[in-house]
Amino acid sequence: MRAMRRRTPPSKRAETAGERDVLHALAARERELVDFARNLVATPSPNPPGDERKVAELSRSEMARLGYSAIRTVAMEPTRPNVVGEVLGKDTGQILMFNGHIDTKPTGDISQWATGPYDPVIRDGRLHGLGSADMKGAVAAMVYAGAALAEVGATHGTLRVVLTADEENGSRFGARFLAGHPDFAADAVVVGEATGMQSPWAYIAVASRGIACFRVSVRGTQMHSSLSDQVPSVNASVKLSHVLSRMASEFRPRYPVDSRVPGGPTVNLGVTLSGGVFYGIYPGYAEFGIDVRTVPGMTHSELQADLTGFLEVLSREDPELDVTVEPVPELAWFEPSQIAPSHSLVAAAQSAARDVLGRDVPLGTMPAFTDGTHWHLAGSACIPAFGPGTLLVAHRPNECIEIAEIVAAARIYALTAMRYLGNADQS
């Protein structure tokens, strides 16, 4: 039997004096970090309906207490504020942005929650509550990473922490509003969305999927339902079920294969579904929604052509089928984003994660859409997702995150910032 080779652990980079000071500063504030994360969870910000004022004020107050500079609230609408704070280095240099969103999905069915969605219970080393993983734990970690840098003052350049509204409903009042404005330009951005799956810190996202939403409509014969066996008629709901079934088994959109960006698109059928009017009325209209999670290289025009072409084939096979597809306004197309795996920000994040976690974190693709797309389109190099928590608990009851992940995130973010911006103390 061949002897097993012992795996050599990844080598740890020697910390500079400045990095040690920052990590010590974070260690001294761990209780405060966890309390802040709990307070964020306890402050409701569900979207829809969308009102981030209370959680924005909490974040702004914490930044002020922790020594941030140039703290400001920026809002397209008064109820939808974004909070920005800065940590200035010893000299001018590059600008690095940490971005997290402060809204959450709605609670859903309260009866499915073991603890209240706004009751930040800590149990078995986990913080429970709505938004704990998506993504108030990461927001707390980013704010405290910046605070440690402000306390020690060991970097060049500027760290800008931008906490945005409305990510969960299209980002119109958040990143889409801020991106491209010269006051919020940055050389590089880290979006702190959760990158855990079965285990935490599964990958560093060098790409994220985009999203394109469509509505498929089927028209039939609306009439008195008692006549369905007496006169020629088309049941729109039944026809729609056939379309839905065929698409589920056969529809596959085109996409370019890129070995640097693992994974392909995901087609999610029936994310909305409706048909008919009421009992006694033969259904003359039915529709279902599709969201396609797109990958870099796909285009909206090609995707729509693929959908239209597929439905035209079905229509030729069934002359009674009257089916159309159209984009959903406001959700028609949000591009995927991508950063070069060789970018210095990726290297900084990789080395920081290795030193904090004691293992290498591979590169990967974020399966969801993130605000990284908006920063990417504005010209910033952007890691579209790298953060604590797991997508497996997001957007569902009983969301939770390990306290240890929040603490690790603050350390990873602080070291990433120092290594990207340049450590002023090289001793």
pLDDT tens digits for range 206-246: 999 999 999 999 999 999 999 999 999 999 999 999 999 99
Across the range 66-81, mean pLDDT stands at 97
Query: Residue 5's pLDDT band (boundaries 50, 70, 90)?
Result: very low
Question: Is the overall model pTM greater than 0.75, yes or no?
Answer: yes
Structural domains of the chain in order of their starting residue, each with its CATH number: 17-208+336-421 (3.40.630.10), 210-327 (3.30.70.360)
Give the pLDDT of residue 1: 36
pLDDT exceeds cutoff 90 at 156: no
Instruction: Determine the Cα–Cα distance for residues 333 and 119; give it in Å rounded to an integer.
Output: 36
Give the pLDDT of residue 236: 98
Residues 6+ apart with CB under 8 A from 70: 84, 85, 86
Give the pLDDT of residue 11: 65
Give the pLDDT of residue 262: 64
Give the pLDDT of residue 330: 82
pLDDT exceeds cutoff 70 at 160: yes
Across the range 179-197, mean pLDDT stands at 94
Query: Residue 155's pLDDT band (boundaries 50, 70, 90)?
Result: confident
Sole residue written with tokens 């810190």: 201
pLDDT exceeds cutoff 50 at 345: yes
pLDDT digits (tens, 9 = 90+) for 301-315: 999 999 999 999 999
**Are the beta carbons of 223 and 282 closer than 8 angstroms?**
yes
pLDDT digits (tens, 9 = 90+) for 11-33: 677 678 899 999 999 999 999 99
Query: Residue 6's pLDDT band (boundaries 50, 70, 90)?
Result: very low
Give the pLDDT of residue 296: 86
Sole residue written with tokens 């994660």: 353
Give the pLDDT of residue 263: 72
Higher pLDDT, 385 or 329: 385
Is residue 287 left, alpha or beta, with left meaning phi > 0 and alpha meaning psi from -120 to 50? beta
Give the pLDDT of residue 83: 98
% of the chain residues with pLDDT over 70 = 95
Across the range 359-374, mean pLDDT stands at 94
**Are the beta carbons of 413 and 147 closer than 8 angstroms?**
no
Count CB neighbours of 109 within 10 A. Answer: 7
Higher pLDDT, 104 or 335: 104
Average pLDDT taken over every residue of the chain: 93
pLDDT exceeds cutoff 60 at 419: yes
Query: Residue 264's pLDDT band (boundaries 50, 70, 90)?
Result: confident
In eight-state DSSP terms, residue 351 is H
Across the range 38-44, mean pLDDT stands at 98
- How big is the chain by its Cα radius of gyration, in Å? 24
Burial of 222: CB neighbours in 10 Å, binned 0-12, 13-18, 19+ = middle
Instruction: Determine the Cα–Cα distance for residues 340 and 361; give it in Å rounded to an integer.
Output: 16
In single-letter form, the type of residue at position 7 comes to R
Phi first, then psi: what are they for 269, rounded to 5°? -95, 150
Phi first, then psi: what are they for 331, rounded to 5°? -125, 20
